[in-house]
């Protein structure tokens, strides 16, 4: 590695802002509150700002059958009309996860990325859709049909994967191979009131698997979760950023709204990958069974 490349990597710093909110029943109020939080995060130096999954609505999929079409929005739509001018004014990249009503008549759990000049980049639609008690997402969302995306923005190249996507190592690896330096995971996960899971602590597993993706791929990971009680769910927050070897740089509290600001040194990514050889020493010709 030559000196010029070393210098370029040493200077690749980016400030991330994760907005961990509680959500009310009023979508307009949620959008207004989030706008103020984006301004605050930008004022504190954040250049890439990520919101939580379904930032504008309460987590309605905990009920198996509910009329929620009125909560969906188009892309472009209300959220992008609000946040695109704001991103341009502040000079920040904003990741906006929302409930999408698509032109094909389907509904998706999606994320819009707005570059720092206010440009809307192509939408990502959540690929892996859970269907379990209190997480009945297949009743509301079609599986994403746009593939995985890497966004090459003003400040960094990154991927967005949404909540349940975070349990699948294949998605993280594909995004890494496509050039992601950071993987953002906007999330809505919590504990169920009066239920002790046999498997153990969900928050520990949630954090551990994402830190594992960071290590295995040599990428930074930024996970954004909501807080607050909604129905039978207590969302546990705990938003965090870890580096390319899984070390947690900063973590938000468990039960409070918070704007987490983290300075990430993306130059570590290449050093970790080269040192451990996780990408270089892959054997793709042996992996065929994964897709059978």
What is the rounded distance in angstroms from the CA atom of residue 169 to the CA atom of residue 6? 29
Are the beta carbons of 237 and 226 closer than 8 angstroms? yes
What Cα–Cα distance (Å) separates residue 35 from each residue in 11, 39, 89, 280? 30, 6, 12, 42
Q: From the candidates 53, 100, 181, 258, which is the catalytic residue?
A: 53
Indicate the helix (H) or strand (E) that contains 18: strand 13-20
Token duo for residue 189: 């996960």
* CA torsion through residues 15, 163, 196, 209, sign: negative
Query: In the annotation, is 230 catalytic?
Result: no
Q: From the candidates 33, 50, 137, 163, which is the catalytic residue?
A: 163
β-strand 240-242 against 124-125: which pairing, if any? unpaired
> What residues have CB less than 8 Å from 59, skipping those under 6 apart?
23, 188, 226, 230, 231, 233, 235
Q: From the candidates 73, 100, 126, 207, which is the catalytic residue?
A: 126
Query: In the annotation, is 53 catalytic?
Result: yes
Strand order through the sheet with 150-152 = 150-152, 157-160, 182-186, 220-224, 240-242, 248-251
* CA torsion through residues 19, 24, 27, 32, sign: negative
Per-residue DSSP letters for 94-121? EEEEEEEE-TTS-EEEEEEEE-TTSPBP
Active site residues per annotation:
53, 126, 163
């Amino acid at each position: 590695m030559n000196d010029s490349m070393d210098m370029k990597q040493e200077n690749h710093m980016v400030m991330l802002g994760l907005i961990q909110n509680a959500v009310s029943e009023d979508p307009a109020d949620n959008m207004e509150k989030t706008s103020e939080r984006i301004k605050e995060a930008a004022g504190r130096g954040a250049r890439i700002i990520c919101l939580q999954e379904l930032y504008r609505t309460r987590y309605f999929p905990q009920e198996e059958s509910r009329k929620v079409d009125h909560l969906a929005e188009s892309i472009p739509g209300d959220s992008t009309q609000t946040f695109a001018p704001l991103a341009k004014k502040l000079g920040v990249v904003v990741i906006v996860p929302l409930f999408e009503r698509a032109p094909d008549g389907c509904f998706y759990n999606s994320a819009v990325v707005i570059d720092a000049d206010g440009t809307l980049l192509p939408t990502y639609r959540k690929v892996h859709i859970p269907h379990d008690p209190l997480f009945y997402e297949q009743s509301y969302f079609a599986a994403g049909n746009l593939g995985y995306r890497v966004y090459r923005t003003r400040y960094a190249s990154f991927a967005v994967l949404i909540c349940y996507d975070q349990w699948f190592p294949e998605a993280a690896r594909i995004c890494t191979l496509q050039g992601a330096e950071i993987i953002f995971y906007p999330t809505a996960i919590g504990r169920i009131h009066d239920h002790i899971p046999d498997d153990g602590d969900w928050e520990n597993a949630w954090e551990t698997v994402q830190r594992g993706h960071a290590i295995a791929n040599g990428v930074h990971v930024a996970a954004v979760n909501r807080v607050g009680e909604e129905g039978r769910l207590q969302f546990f927050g705990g938003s965090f950023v870890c580096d390319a070897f899984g070390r947690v740089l900063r973590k938000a509290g468990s039960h409070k709204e918070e704007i987490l600001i983290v300075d990430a040194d993306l130059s570590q990514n290449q050093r970790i990958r080269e040192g451990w050889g996780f990408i270089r020493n892959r054997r793709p010709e042996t992996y065929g069974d994964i897709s059978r």
